């Protein structure tokens, strides 16, 4: 009678074992593991597609409800990590790894990683605080932690900034939630300030009138609050004129550079001198 294939170590009888038995056992184990591995690959591929689909559906639902883009970015990132963890646990179960052993190992690993990655958990908590109190949102131009740029996304551990020269900066959320953040987009208007030095002896009234004409010719400058012009300091080499105007946030840099250009051109035309730094040397005869 033909013997049944050996499928487990309990079926092995060391006293009567043959090479055929060993090969039968190894073949069965290889086929069993191969089938499980194939199933794991299929489950992983389908699982990743389902995760992407669920994220897309969630994002669409939140967009339809006009949810804040910062909350959408944070929640999709968090859900993606949680669902990926569930997918990995499912694959481990398919492979036949003991759950209790895995959970104990995972708990021990989690304690060790929690101590090693305490800063990472602080970044996660910082992301939650940012999401709750909203000191900035996606699209805002901010300055924080020695960096500045436009907020591209708010993830669970980092905020992604795009700088004006198109560099991508990842700023940890923990530091952002505990330090100063300058949000340039929070208000609709911004104040521009110039300090212009003029030579001593220059007609002050003429200079002030010239500046007023330059400012009044630019319709982007707001009338309320109106422009402010004053003699702010009597410096070593020049009298310093202080100029302040208010503009819409979107016009800030255009107005700043345009008025700089106009002051340079009009001052030269009207004979108003902007002095260079000077050093006076006194020589004495012995």
Whole domain around residue 133: which residue ranges?
Answer: 122-183
Mean pLDDT, rounded, for 58-66? 74
The whole-number pLDDT of residue 2 equals 45
Residue 280 within a domain: no
The rounded percent of the chain whose pLDDT value lies above 90 is: 40
Q: Comparing C-alpha atoms, which of 223, 218, 259 is closest to residue 241?
A: 259
What stretch of H or E contains 280? none
User: How far apart (Å, rounded) are the C-alpha atoms in residues 129 and 235?
Assistant: 47
In a domain, 57, yes or no: yes
Q: Would you state the structure tokens that stand for residue 237, as one six-digit string? A: 């080499």
The strand pair at 141-144 and 181-183 is best described as: antiparallel
DSSP 3-state helix, strand, coil percentages of the chain (rounded to 5)?
A: 50, 20, 30
pLDDT number for residue 70: 65
Tell me: do 108 and 130 sit in the same domain.
Answer: no
Q: Which of 147, 268, 245, 143 is nearest to 190 (CA)?
A: 245
Please give the model's pTM, rounded to 2 decimal places: 0.58
Please check whether residues 96 and 137 belong to one and the same domain: no
Cβ atoms within 10 Å of 19's Cβ, excluding its own: 7
Q: What is the DSSP letter of 277?
A: P
Q: Would you say residue 252 lies in a domain?
A: yes
Distance CA 268, CA 248 (A): 29
Q: Per residue in 65-90, is it b (16+ CB within 10 Å) or e — as a string?
A: eeeebbbbbbbbbbbbeebeeebeee
22 and 109, same domain (yes or no): yes
pLDDT of amino acid 262? 95
In a domain, 283, yes or no: no
Higher local confidence (pLDDT), 85 or 143: 143
CATH number, residue 130: 2.30.30.60
Do 85 and 158 lie in one domain? The reply is no
Clarify whether residues 92 and 127 are in a common domain: no
Structural domain ending residue among the three candidates 149, 164, 183: 183
Distances, alpha carbon 120 to alpha carbons 103, 124, 182, in Å:
22, 6, 23
The CATH number of residue 193's host domain is 3.30.70.100
- Token output for 263: 């002051």
Above 80 in pLDDT, residue 135? yes
Tally the domains of the chain: 3
Residue 7 clears pLDDT 90, i.e. is over it: no
17 lies in the same domain as 112: yes
141 and 99 in a common domain:
no
pLDDT in tens, 203-245: 999 999 999 999 999 999 999 999 999 999 998 889 999 999 9
- Whether 17 and 63 share a structural domain: yes
- Average the pLDDT over 148-167 and give the result: 91
């Amino acid at each position: 009678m033909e013997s049944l294939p050996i499928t487990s170590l309990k079926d092995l009888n060391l006293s009567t074992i043959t090479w055929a038995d060993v090969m039968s056992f190894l073949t069965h184990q290889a086929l069993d593991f191969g089938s499980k591995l194939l199933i794991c690959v299929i489950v992983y591929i389908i699982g990743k597609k389902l995760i992407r689909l669920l994220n897309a559906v969630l994002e669409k639902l939140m967009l339809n409800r006009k949810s804040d883009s910062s909350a959408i970015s944070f929640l999709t990132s968090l859900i993606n990590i949680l669902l990926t963890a569930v997918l990995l646990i499912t694959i481990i179960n398919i492979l036949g790894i003991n759950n209790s052993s895995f959970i104990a190992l995972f708990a021990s690993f989690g304690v060790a990683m929690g101590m090693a990655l305490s800063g990472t958990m602080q970044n996660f908590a910082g992301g939650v605080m940012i999401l709750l109190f909203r000191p900035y949102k996606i699209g805002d131009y901010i300055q924080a932690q020695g960096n500045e740029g436009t907020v591209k996304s708010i993830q669970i551990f980092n905020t992604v900034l795009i700088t004006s020269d198109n560099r991508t900066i990842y700023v940890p959320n923990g530091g952002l939630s505990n330090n100063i953040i300058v949000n340039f987009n929070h208000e609709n208007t911004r104040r521009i300030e110039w300090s212009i030095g003029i030579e001593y002896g220059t007609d002050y009234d003429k200079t002030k009138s010239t500046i007023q004409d330059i400012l009044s010719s630019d319709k982007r400058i707001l009338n309320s609050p109106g422009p402010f012009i004053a003699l702010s300091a009597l410096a070593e080499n020049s009298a310093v004129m202080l100029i302040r105007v208010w503009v819409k946030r979107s016009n800030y840099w255009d107005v700043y550079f345009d008025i700089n250009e106009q002051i340079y051109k009009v001052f030269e035309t009207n004979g108003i001198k902007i002095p260079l730094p000077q050093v006076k040397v006194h020589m004495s005869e012995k």
